[in-house]
Structure formats: structure tokens, C-alpha cells
């Protein structure tokens, strides 16, 4: 398997040698006239070959051999490795577009600079097959979104304080770990304290109350005290409850419950629940308050609260 770093350095003469080894001696002059070196060779499309090779059968044979070459290049240990891996993960045959994407600035390092018209960018890069274009477009858009999130995380670090009762400790730990992995500074209430933690609540940008199903039916007094303090200080308050929890009792126990954002945690869709929590942490407009949640159907799997 030939290395990518070697092939892109091929001279025109080395490209001609590659052609001759495959029985395309008659094309040598055309390739030399067009100054086709290794870099240019890997950018060729079937449309480009129609200009260089007039014989249809010969053109299809050359296009087949060129695609085999591009698919079997060793892209590891070079600047194109991440792009090659991304394409291979979509489908092994898409690896042939690695050099085209890198040359066009559609690689992982530059993806954030790509405009909204990804279709046009891919076509200009030489992705002519519509099915391939759609697959690559989808992967690039997901990669772009991921890069944007990674870039923003250091800028949107938040101090989060989690309130939970003793029965919800494991549940609260899970939420805490997810938020820490996303770059937030998280602290939890301490059961050694006999009163609300004024200092932690004052320092928090967002307070999250995490309650399992049983805890929603009868809320611990210390939890209620801390929630009251959160509302007194006008802090961003989010409540995370288990999927099947009956939240009708909460409205009777907590004042101004209509201002609390409630998220149902579905264990099969944990990442989606964390996405919702983050939306509220960043003060994104929320679509449903507690008074609207009572009519939400559970059949869809995830409450819509973006």
C-alpha cells in the first residue's frame, strides 16, 4: 500500500510511469501536456478524464484503476489521516475522496470555515456521485456542529449547583458526571448540612434539582428550603425528574412552580436529556413550563422541550 505523502509528491514523470505499468502508455503524452503530477492525479474526476482520454473503454478502465489507487492509499500518519478515517467510517469506498476534500479545505481542521452551501463546496471539490455527495455532506455537517460545540465549551463554562435528596444520590451523580464531561463546574449539596447551602446557591449560575420518581411524591424539607432560596435569589432553576415520575405533587409543594423548567430523564436517551439541561443552563428560551407539562404525552419517548 502506497503512502499518501509519497503519491502527492509524484512528478509528472512518476505519474507517467504509473500509467505505463497499467498499460496506458498511449496516454503518456496527454498527461505530460496537461502537467498531471501526483497532486493533480488524485484530484481528477471522471468528468476530467473525458477531456484527457477520448476512448470510452480506455477511459473507464483508467477511472477504475485510479479509484482503486485512491481507495487503497495509506492515509495514516499524515495531515489527511482524520479526513480519511471519517470517510472510511461512512463507507470504505468513500476514502477515494480524501485528497479532494483536503485540497478543497473540507477536511476536519478547516470544516468550521465551510459555508452553509456544503453541496456546492463538495461538487467543486470533485464529488460528482449524488449518493456519495449526500453521505459526505451529512458527515461534514455533523463534524462541523461537533467542532463548533467543542470551540464554544470553554467560553460557556457555568457554575452548576445540584440539589438532591438522599434517595436520588445515584441519579444526581449521573447528571453531575455528564455535565462535568461537557466542561461545567458542578457542586452538590451536602447531607452533612442541616440548612440550605446559601454560599453555593449564591455562586451558582444554574441550580438543578435532581429527583427520582419516589422523591417527587414527597419532597425532602431541606430540598424545599434550598429551592425556596434559589427562587428568592432569582437563580436559573431546572428540575430533572425520572421519566415516569408523577410531577403533579410538585406544584403544591413549590411556590412559583410555573417558572421552573422541568426535564424528564429517559435512561435510553440520556444524551438528549443532557442537551436539554445545557439549553437551559445557557439560558436558552424554553418551550414548556410545569403548567404545560401535565398534558405532554409520554408515548413519543422524549418530551419536546427545546
**pLDDT tens digit string along 254-266?**
888 887 899 999 9
Of 251, 303, 298, 254, give the one whose Cα is nearest residue 277: 303
pLDDT of residue 291: 37
**Distance in angstroms (rounded) separating the CA atoms of residues 144 and 113:** 9
**Alpha-carbon radius of gyration of the chain:** 29
pLDDT of residue 194: 66
**Distance in angstroms (rounded) separating the CA atoms of residues 305 and 289:** 9
- CA neighbours closer than 13 Å in the CB half-sphere of residue 209: 28
List, edge to edge, every strand of the sheet that includes 261-265.
185-188, 159-163, 206-211, 236-242, 261-265
Query: Which residues does the chain have with pLDDT short of 70?
Result: 150-157, 191-194, 283-306
Amino acid at each position: 500500500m502506497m503512502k499518501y505523502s509519497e503519491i502527492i509528491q509524484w512528478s509528472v514523470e512518476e505519474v507517467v510511469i504509473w500509467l505505463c505499468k497499467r498499460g496506458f502508455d498511449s496516454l503518456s503524452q496527454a498527461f505530460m501536456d496537461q502537467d498531471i503530477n501526483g497532486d493533480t492525479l488524485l484530484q481528477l474526476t471522471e468528468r476530467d478524464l473525458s477531456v484527457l482520454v477520448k476512448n470510452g473503454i480506455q477511459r473507464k478502465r483508467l477511472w477504475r484503476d485510479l479509484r482503486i489507487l485512491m481507495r487503497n492509499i495509506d492515509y495514516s500518519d499524515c495531515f489527511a489521516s482524520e479526513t480519511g478515517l471519517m470517510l472510511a467510517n461512512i463507507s470504505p469506498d468513500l476514502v477515494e475522496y480524501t485528497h479532494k476534500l483536503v485540497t478543497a479545505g473540507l477536511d476536519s481542521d478547516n470544516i468550521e470555515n465551510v459555508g452553509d452551501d456544503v453541496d456546492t463546496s463538495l461538487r467543486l471539490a470533485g464529488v460528482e456521485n449524488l449518493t456519495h455527495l449526500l453521505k459526505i455532506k451529512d458527515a461534514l455537517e455533523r463534524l462541523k456542529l461537533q467542532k463548533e460545540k467543542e470551540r464554544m465549551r470553554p467560553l460557556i463554562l457555568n457554575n452548576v449547583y445540584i440539589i438532591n435528596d438522599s434517595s436520588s444520590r445515584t441519579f444526581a451523580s449521573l447528571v453531575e458526571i455528564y455535565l462535568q464531561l461537557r466542561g461545567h463546574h458542578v457542586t452538590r449539596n451536602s447531607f452533612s448540612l442541616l440548612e440550605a447551602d446559601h454560599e453555593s446557591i449564591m455562586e451558582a449560575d444554574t441550580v438543578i434539582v435532581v429527583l427520582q420518581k419516589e422523591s417527587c411524591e414527597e419532597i425532602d424539607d431541606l430540598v424545599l428550603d434550598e429551592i425556596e432560596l434559589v427562587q428568592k435569589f432569582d437563580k436559573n432553576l431546572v428540575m430533572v425528574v425520572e421519566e415516569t415520575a408523577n410531577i403533579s405533587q410538585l406544584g403544591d409543594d413549590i411556590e412559583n412552580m410555573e417558572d421552573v423548567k422541568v426535564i424528564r430523564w429517559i435512561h435510553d436517551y440520556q444524551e438528549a436529556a443532557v442537551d436539554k439541561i445545557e439549553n437551559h443552563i445557557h439560558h436558552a428560551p424554553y418551550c414548556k413550563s410545569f403548567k404545560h407539562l401535565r398534558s405532554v404525552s409520554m408515548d413519543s419517548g422524549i418530551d419536546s422541550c427545546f
